[in-house]
Amino acid sequence: MAGDESALLALTPATGANGQYAYLNSGQLEIDISSNNPNAGGSNFTGAGVNDDALTSINDVFIIENQGTQDVDVYLGDGSGNAIGLNGNDTALQYYWGSTTTNSSETSSNSVTLSPGQSVTVGFQIDLRVESVSGSFPDFTVFAEASN
Amino acid sequence: MRPKGKLFALLAVFAAIGLVTASGAFTTVDADRTATVDVNGDAAALLQMNASNAANGAYASSGNNQVTIDFNNGNSGLNPNAVTTISLVFNITNQGTQPVDVTVDDSNISDTDLTDSEFKIFHGTAPGDDIETSSETLDSGEQISIGFKIDLTDVTSSTEFDINLDVFAEA
């Protein structure tokens, strides 16, 4: 067993400013855009959340790195590998590669291949002009499969 | 008698190979992770928008999670046949992690009595400091104040205009 930062598939906050929105909680990567995030406050972000009735895109939040020995195909999804949505609306919540919001990282059809030592960053976008958040926010699952 | 040292050496090599194999390969990883996203009204969110502390802040309010501007505001509104400049109405503060370029747009204006060029949005106190087409950079923690210059010289009768303001902030 290893924490996310040292595991074969390393999941860590990005090194840029938006890495503040992610942190390792008991070794596990967590995204937290709220005042409960231990990075919040001081010279870091002070907003207590995303704006309601607005489209918010946050590039480069966390890094996925292949620390194994084989090429792996990496993508995000809900627990079943399907697109992650908000209230069933797939486009209202979008995880994307790097800083291009249209470059979806969700479902196996949008996977990227990471060679050993390679990494990719993930950003995400939430559209609260069309949906609202009620109850708990959906989890995301990072899938990695050895390339054939 | 066989020297014990060589056997130890051989075992050590096997052990090392075993470790490399066990630590380096994986077929699949599914890692379920938590995301928490709080949603806030304009007054507390990453891009904070709220009424200015200056006197003209009275034209802005933060009801229903959104900053709203009402120049009627209990009075009889703006003068027809006049150009009115109102500065320091509401503030925009960058409460995020990165510097952002901010613009405020009124792109939905389509009224023939009040055109885009007759409804100017600026920052600070100088109406020439346009923020519709020219963005202003806000560092993390930095704030600007938004004002309006409204040209109603060709409006003679009582009219109400509803204008959507789109605030756009991009790193």
Query: A134 CB near a chain B CB, below 8 Å?
Result: no
Alpha helices in chain A (DSSP H): none
Q: Per residue in A22-77, pLDDT tens?
A: 999 999 999 999 999 999 999 999 999 999 999 999 999 999 999 999 999 999 99
Q: With contacts defined as CB-CB under 8 Å, which chain A residues touch B50?
A: none
d(CA A25, CA A38): 10
Domain ranges of chain A: 9-146
Give A83's DSSP letter. P
Instruction: Please give the C-alpha separations between residue A94 and each of A84, A125, B27, in angstroms, as whole numbers.
Output: 7, 5, 26
What mean pLDDT is predicted for residues B132-141? 95
Distance in angstroms (rounded) separating the CA atoms of residues B85 and B47: 25
Count CB pairs under 8 A between chains A and B: 150
Residue closest to A62 by CA, chosen among A112, A26, A98, A25? A98
Residue keyed to tokens 């999804």: A77
Cβ contacts (< 8 Å) between A37 and chain B: which residues?
A: 36
Q: For the domain with range B47-170, which CATH number is right: 2.60.40, 1.20.120, 2.30.30, 1.10.1740?
A: 2.60.40
- ipTM (interface predicted TM): 0.87
Q: How confident is the model at residue B19 (pLDDT cuts 50, 70, 90)?
A: very low
CA distance B166 to chain A (A): 9
For chain B, helix (H) and strand (E) counts, in that order, are 1, 11
Rounded CA-CA distance A121/A140 in Å is 15
| pTM score of the predicted model | 0.83
DSSP three-state, residue B123: strand
- Residue A110 in this model has a pLDDT that exceeds 80: yes
Helix (H, G, I), strand (E, B) or coil at A65: strand
Strand pairing partners for B90?
Answer: B51, B146
3-state secondary structure of B23: helix
Domain ranges in chain B?
47-170
Asked if B133 contacts B123 with a C-beta cutoff of 8 angstroms, the reply is no
Q: What is the pLDDT of residues B75-130, one digit of tens each?
A: 678 888 899 999 999 999 999 999 999 999 987 787 778 888 999 999 999 999 99
